[in-house]
Amino acid sequence: MVDNQIIARGVANSATIRAMRKVPRHLFVPQSLSELAYEDRPLSIGYGQTISQPFIVAYMTAEAYPSEGMKALEIGTGSGYQAAVLAEIVDTVYTIEIVHDLAVESGARLKKLGYDNVVTKDGDGYNGWKEHAPFDIIIVTAAADHIPQPLIDQLAEGGRLLMPVGNRNEVQYLILLEKRRGMVKQTQLYPVRFVPLTRDKN
Ligand code: SAH
């Protein structure tokens, strides 16, 4: 998977490659799909949600420039796979999942696999996680037509935020937002297809 799908497509960040080799992806998908875990595709994880294609996880991780000592926030824990990949590299990963049952499942999975540096939360991630801000890295794994302002506010100076942005049913692009000297710069990176960012009603 790593050689053919990730390195061959140009992902070169060594910490990312090491993490992708290490995290057992087959333990993050439903047992009935575990034979497909290392294929070049997203997979259903129930509740209408998906675990992203391995290349996309690697690409987003690499573009976040992760390193030891950093603090990351993920919105959309899903299976917990992206959180685990980040947790192999950075000090602490905070991750929020809006579907209660998925949050419980992935929290238990990460714990069982020994990812003690991942802190999970059940809820709407639109407003980020202020108590633990600022974050060096913010990765949003669900798409919306804009980047939530609270997430931009909670990004550290020099930090990198990655999120798929686009209207429903239209092409989404992975956007990189960088914060430097208080200024934000956005770069359009790659066309992608993610499930929508949903909102809690209350
Ligand atoms: N990162 C995941 C893939 C997630 S799919 C993995 O590695 O498996 C996107 C996830 O975002 C879904 O589980 C969905 O329920 C969740 N989600 C959607 N809107 C959200 C919101 N507002 N806050 C938190 N999670 C959200």
Is beta strand 118-122 parallel, antiparallel or unpaired with respect to 71-75?
unpaired
In a domain, 202, yes or no: no
Query: Ligand 1: residues whose CB is within 6 Å?
Result: 49-52, 75-76, 78-79, 81-82, 96-99, 102, 124-126, 141-142, 195, 197-199
In a domain, 92, yes or no: yes
Q: What is the pTM of this model?
A: 0.97
Residue 168 scores a pLDDT above 90: no
In a domain, 25, yes or no: yes
Q: What is the mean pLDDT of the chain?
A: 96
Q: Which residues are CB-neighbours of 42 under 8 A, at least 6 positions away?
A: 50, 51, 52, 53, 56
In a domain, 95, yes or no: yes
- Number of domains observed in the structure of the chain: 1
In a domain, 197, yes or no: no
Residue 202 scores a pLDDT above 70: no
Is beta strand 43-46 parallel, antiparallel or unpaired with respect to 172-180?
unpaired
92: CATH: 3.40.50.150
Give 166's Cβ-side CA count (13 Å radius).
Answer: 19
Q: Which residues are CB-neighbours of 74 under 8 A, at least 6 positions away?
A: 82, 83, 86, 93, 94, 95, 96, 138, 139, 140, 141
In this structure, of 23-32, 34-43, 192-201, the range with the lowest mean pLDDT score is 192-201
Ligand 1 centroid, distance to 196 Cα (angstroms): 8
Ligand 1 centroid, distance to 198 Cα (angstroms): 9
Domain range spanning residue 120?
A: 2-192
Q: What is the pLDDT of residue 173?
A: 97
Ligand 1 centroid, distance to 57 Cα (angstroms): 13
In a domain, 83, yes or no: yes
Residue 128 scores a pLDDT above 70: yes
Q: Which residues are CB-neighbours of 73 under 8 A, at least 6 positions away?
A: 93, 94, 95, 96, 128, 129, 132, 133, 135, 137, 138, 139, 151, 154
Q: What is the pLDDT of residue 167?
A: 81
In a domain, 201, yes or no: no
* Ligand 1 pocket mutation pick from 55, 141, 162 by most atoms within 8 angstroms of CB: 141
* Ligand 1 pocket mutation pick from 98, 101, 121 by most atoms within 8 angstroms of CB: 98
